[in-house]
Structure formats: C-alpha cells, structure tokens
Amino acid sequence: MAIPRSQRPRISLLSLGKNTQHWLRRTYIVLGIETSCDDTSVCLYDRYSPSAPPKLISSLTSSLDNKEFKGIVPTRALNHHQVHLAPLVCKLLRPPNAPQIIPELICVTRGPGMRGSLSVGVEFAKGLSLAWGIPMVGVHHMLAHLLTPRLLTNGSAPRFPFLSLLVSGGHTMLVLSASLLDHRILANTIDIAMGDAIDKSARELGLNGNMNGPELEKLVQRYEESVAAGENKALSKEEMTEVGIKVKLPMRPKPGRPQTAAFSFSSFVTMVKRGVAKKGGFTALSETEVQIIAKQIQDAIFDHAVDRITYTLSTVPREVVAGIQDFVCSGGVGSNLLLRKKLIDAFSNTVMNLHFPPPDLCTDNGRMIAWTGIEMWETAGLHSSYDIMPTAEWNLENILGDVDGWLREDRTEQNVRPSDIAA
C-alpha cells in the first residue's frame, strides 16, 4: 500500500560506504535524458574540470509533430519516446569510427510531467545505471529550467538567491531560489500556462504549426517590419482595437477587489476567440488584421506577466528583494524577444542582471537535465535509488521531501567522481 505523502519521511538517506581515495577527481562523462512531455532529448557532457562549464560532446532531440492533433496526445508522446529514446542514446554513445562511450553518471527527468512519457526515460535510465554500475539522479524538470543559465557559467551565475520566471507550455511561475534545494513559488498561474494561452490564441488566428509561439512572434515581427518600411500605417492602441480586437488585462486593481500574487491567461484565449468570431472567423480576416490581433494579444499577455511580477515583488519584504541580484527567464516562451525586452525594460533597474538562456536551452532539452543532475550530485551529494517512480506532480518547494528514493554520498573527502563511489 502506498504511504500517504504526509506520512513519508522528509528524506530517506542511505550511505553506500566511504571512499578511500582522497584526491580531487572530477573528470567524468554525464548522460542527460529528458522525456517529460513530447520531446525526446538526450546529451553527453564531459565534466572535464571542476572549474569550467562541462564540455558538450553531443546532444540529440526528436520532437513529436502535433500539427494534426491540435495539441499533445499523451499516448502519442509515450509512443514517440518508446520509439526514439534507445536509438538516440545509441547514436550518442557510439560515434562513428570511435570507441563506445560509457558514461559515469546518468541524469534523467523524474517529474513533473506526463507520467507515461516520464516512465520511458526513468525506466531506461534505471536499466543503464544498473548495467553499467553507475549512479543515476532523478531530476526535477522545473528546477532544471531555472538552473539552465548556470550550465553556461559552471554555476557561477546567476548566484543564489535569484528570481526566475518559468514560462513554458505547461507552467508559468515566478520563483525565488535561495539555494539549490530551497525554492519558493511567489506567483503561479491560476488557470492555463502562458505558452498554452499563446498556442491556443494563435490557433484561433488560423495558425497550425507544431509550435505556435514562434509562429505568432514571426507574424508580429512581419507586421512591425511592414510599419517600419512604410507599407502599413503605425496605429495607436485605440486604432488597433478598431482594426483588431478588444483586449483587457486581467487582475488589474479595482476598488473592492484585493490584488493577488498570481497570473491568469485563459481570458486572453477567450478575447481572441470572441473578437475573431465577431469578424466572421479567421478566414474572413486580412493578413494585416491577423498580424494586428497577433500583436495585440502578444503585447497583452506579456504586459500582464510584467504587471503581476511587479505586484508580486511589491509583496515580498524589501530586504529580501534587495538581496536579489539576478533574474532568469526560462522555459519555451522565454525565447520570445518581445518578452525579453519587456522584462529588461521593467526590471533591469530593480534586479541587476537578467539571464536569458539561448532558445535551444529554453525549450525542453536533455542538457539542462544533465547540468541539474551534476549540481545535485556534486553540491548535494544526491542520487536516486532503483525504486523511484516517475512523478507527474512534484512540488518545487519541497524537492527532497515530496518524493522518496534519495541516496546521499559523503562528500567530505571530495570524492565527487561517480565511479569512485559506485564501484
């Protein structure tokens, strides 16, 4: 019988025994595996030095095409991972004309995410870990998104404490991270995620790509280029409402309505749906009308995010905010250039350094999972037991206590090389 979450120990610690080697050796190869949603993504890193970012040997991703299905179908995603994971890892480990690579640490997404999808990665990692006699770390997917910029700086920036805006297809949250395992969610979405709202709004405008966010961004960019080139007239907000749709930011302060530290994105989809229906559906819209509505909705979604972050930060004690030097924006929507600009305009005065990982590290990828596993292994001495389960819901505020199966190593002798311990 499953033990209720409330009765579980906060952490179960087992020791695998002491290492007898006393010198610092960190050189090891890391395999990263991400299968939480519909991207199968794997990578190999060479952790060749403790004082430099790990060197990427190779990374491979296979993305599921969801065009025809208007979103992600969990069973299709599961099949996608089952078909692609082993061949991708095989390609990574057996480079042409070179000896087979055997990693010394496996980092795999344990959750949160779609249970079926997660289970493909987790069970595969267990098998490899057992077969090779090397440790495995079950990684929290959202922790990986927020640690991503540290991968490029070997953990030197951003420094704790820092803020993160995590904006993906499934999540929108503002997080204050005090240390590797100490995170507080300051604001969360009360309905759908920012990426989901963007994808659904774009669909109402007739876009039907595999990922609608970048397509919507391109539409807006084309409109702005046409205005700059004088092909279209620059419009005021009021004129845009006349040509496009009526847009209103949710959760704005009103007499008698208490403010909340939260985001809400579902009304944006309704605004586009209603506005487009009033005009006779997207097929009745001109190219410019589509572009203007795209601009209105993109602007409004990002303005709402800035508005809610500003309010949320006003609720945090001043001395806490004063100690924060860094702000990370990560997750798929984090690659949007307009969102980046709005965050820089709004917060570069309050929070000194803004960090935007490159777009290929913003969307789901195995590299962020590998780095997070490295941090958990080297800094916290943690890895996972073979009875861990894929965890669809996993509280970022209680990473160790919310799930069991943690094993902790003694790091006093700086025996950080996995094979020193696992052998």
Mark residues 350-369: x for contact with Zn ion by CB under 5 A, - for none: --------------x-----
Residue 151: C-alpha distances to residues 193, 367, 375 (Å): 25, 8, 9
Q: Contact residues for ligand AMP (CB under 6 A)?
A: 168-170, 195, 198-199, 211-214, 217, 331-333, 335-336, 363-364
Under rule CB under 5 A, which residues in 6-35 are in contact with Zn ion? Answer: none
Report how far residue 247's alpha carbon sits from residue 95's, in angstroms, rounded to the nearest whole number. Answer: 53
Nearer to ligand AMP, 214 or 418 (CB): 214
**Shortest distance in whole angstroms from residue 155 CB to ligand AMP:** 22
Q: Rule CB under 5 A: which of 328-347 touch Zn ion? A: none
Which residues ranging from 376 to 395 are in contact with Zn ion (CB under 5 A)? none
- Which residues does 296 contact at the CB level (< 8 Å), separation at least 6? 240, 241, 244, 245, 247
Task: Between 166 and 220, name the residue whose CB sits nearer to Zn ion.
Answer: 166
* 128 vs 297, beta carbon nearer ligand AMP: 297
Output the smallest distance, CB 152 to ligand AMP, in A: 18
| Encoded tokens for 332 | 């798929």
- Shortest CB 214 distance to Zn ion, Å: 15
- End-to-end CA separation in angstroms for the chain: 33
Q: Which is nearer to Zn ion, 19 or 168 (CB)?
A: 168
Angle, CA 176 vertex, CA 181 and CA 46 arms, to 5°: 50
DSSP three-state, residue 94: coil
How near is the Cβ of 89 to Zn ion at its closest, in Å? 20
Stretch of 168-176, 217-225, 237-245, 265-273 lying at the interface with Zn ion (CB under 5 A): 168-176
What tokens appear for 212 in the block?
């609608």
User: Which H helix or E strand runs over 117?
Assistant: helix 115-132
Q: Which stretch binds Zn ion (CB under 5 A): 102-110, 166-174, 334-342, 403-411?
A: 166-174
Measured CA to CA, the distance from residue 389 to residue 362 in angstroms comes to: 26
Contacted by 195, from Zn ion, ligand AMP, none: CB < 5 to 8 Å by type: ligand AMP
CA dist 412 and 309 (Å) reads 40
Strand locations in 224-345, DSSP E?
Answer: 262-263, 326-330
Nearer to ligand AMP, 128 or 194 (CB): 194
Return the number of the residue (107 or 388) whose C-beta is nearest ligand AMP: 107
Q: Are strands 39-47 and 28-34 parallel, antiparallel or unpaired?
A: antiparallel
Per CB under 5 A, the list member of 164, 168, 391, 415 interacting with Zn ion is: 168
Name which of Zn ion, ligand AMP, none residue 217 binds, using a CB cut-off of 5 to 8 Å depending on partner kind.
ligand AMP
Give which of ligand AMP, Zn ion, none residue 390 binds (C-beta under 5 to 8 Å, depending on kind): none
Q: If contact means CB under 5 to 8 A according to the sort of partner, which of ligand AMP, Zn ion, none does residue 32 touch?
A: none
What is the residue whose two structure tokens read 């004088």?
230
Q: Please, is 311 exposed, middle or buried when counting C-beta atoms within 10 Å of its C-beta (0-12, 13-18, 19+)?
A: middle
